[in-house]
Amino acid sequence: MNDEINYTNNPLHGLGLQELLTQIVDHYGFEILYAYLNINCFKTNPSIESSMKFLKKTDWAREKVEIFYLYKFKNLPRVSSEQFELPPRKRIIPEGQTPREPAELSMEDAERVREKQALKAAEHGKTKHFRNSKPYGERGGNSRY
């Protein structure tokens, strides 16, 4: 089924991870990327090479960066709920939707976004990182997490 779908309108189509990272780092810098994405490879000794190494091994982080690329850097409108369920590279960008100028981001806005996410998570009774939801000794059972 996926062979029949045209993904060429998706800005991620044919774009390698190194080029994607280079574009967003050149535009925003590592500090803004860390502030918005909260991924340590953008904070601790950040470089394109070390970030690529981490993102290639870590699907959730790579998808988070790809979503940032689509909706902040390429400034595309938000997607439908059906498209939201798909990984960023499999999303269909409707005809007529084209990338716009990158969103203007600031450290202050990043803090507001984080506060909003924390409130939303608290409302839903979820924690940001499931591994931190219970102290290690209280996890019980033979769970590895």
Single-letter amino acid, residue 5:
I
pLDDT for the residue 121: 86
Half-sphere exposure of 112 (CA within 13 A, CB side): 5
Q: Of the candidates 9, 7, 14, which has an alpha carbon nearest to the alpha carbon of residue 96?
A: 9
Q: Is residue 130 in some structural domain? A: no
pLDDT for the residue 94: 86
pLDDT for the residue 80: 86
Q: Is residue 143 in some structural domain? A: no
Q: Check pLDDT > 80 for residue 76.
A: yes
CB atoms within 10 A of CB 88: 21
Q: Check pLDDT > 60 for residue 2.
A: no
Residue 35: alpha-carbon gap to chain centroid: 12
Between 14 and 6, residue with greater pLDDT? 14
Q: Is residue 141 in some structural domain? A: no
Q: How confident is the model over 18-75, as pLDDT tens digits?
A: 999 999 999 999 999 999 999 999 999 999 999 999 999 999 999 999 999 999 999 9
Using a pLDDT cut of 90, give the percent of the chain over it: 62
pLDDT for the residue 142: 45
Q: Is residue 73 in some structural domain? A: yes
Report whether 74 contacts 102 (CB < 8 A).
yes
Q: Is residue 21 in some structural domain? A: yes
pLDDT for the residue 145: 36
Q: Is residue 84 in some structural domain? A: yes
Helices (H) then strands (E): counts for the chain: 6, 0
Please give the model's pTM, rounded to 2 decimal places: 0.78
Q: What CATH number did the domain enclosing 94 receive?
A: 1.10.720.30
Find the helix or strand (DSSP H, E) in which 45 lies.
Answer: none
Q: Check pLDDT > 70 for residue 97.
A: yes
Query: What is the biggest distance separating any 2 CA atoms in the chain, rounded to whole angstroms?
Result: 54
Structural domain range at position 36 = 2-103
Q: Is residue 47 in some structural domain? A: yes
Between 114 and 17, residue with greater pLDDT? 17
Q: How many domains does the chain have?
A: 1
Provide mean pLDDT across the span 128-142.
44
Q: Check pLDDT > 50 for residue 1.
A: no
Q: Check pLDDT > 50 for residue 133.
A: no
Q: Is residue 35 in some structural domain? A: yes
Q: Of the candidates 46, 53, 16, 12, which has an alpha carbon nearest to the alpha carbon of residue 32?
A: 46
